[in-house]
A and B are shown apart, each in its own frame.
Chain A
Amino acid sequence: MNVRLYLLQRLTAAIMVPLVLAHLAVIYYATRGGLTAAEILARTRGSIGWGAFYGLFVLAAAIHGAIGVRTIASEWAGLRGGKLDLLMWGFGLTLATLGLRAVAAVLLP
Chain B
Amino acid sequence: MKSHTTAHRKSGLWIAAMVHRLSGLALACFLPLHFLALGLAINGEAPLDRFLEWTANPLVKLAETILVFLLTVHLLGGVRVLLIETLPWREGHKQLATAAVAAAALAAIAFLVRAA
Contacts and interface: CB of A to CB of B under 8 A. Distances in A.
Interface of A: 10, 13-14, 16-17, 20-21, 23-24, 27-28, 31-32, 34-38, 40-41, 58, 61, 65, 68-69, 72, 91, 94-95, 98-99, 101-102, 104-106
| Overall SS of chain B's interface | helix
Interface size range of chain B in the complex = 35 or more
Interface stretch (B6-14, B78-86, B91-99): B78-86
B25 interface: yes
Contacts of B16: none
26 contacts: A13-B78, A16-B75, A17-B82, A20-B71, A24-B72, A24-B107, A27-B111, A28-B114, A34-B56, A36-B52, A38-B45, A41-B41, A65-B28, A95-B31, A98-B32, A98-B35, A101-B35, A102-B34, A102-B35, A102-B36, A102-B37, A102-B38, A102-B41, A104-B42, A105-B40, A105-B41
B31 A14 contact: no
B75 A21 contact: yes
A24 B31 CA distance: 15
B14 to A, nearest CB: 14
A85 B107 CA distance: 36
Contacts of A91: 28
A105 B38 contact: yes
Contacts of B38: 102, 105-106
Contact of B39 (A23, A69, A101): A101
A27 B69 CA distance: 13
A13 B31 contact: no
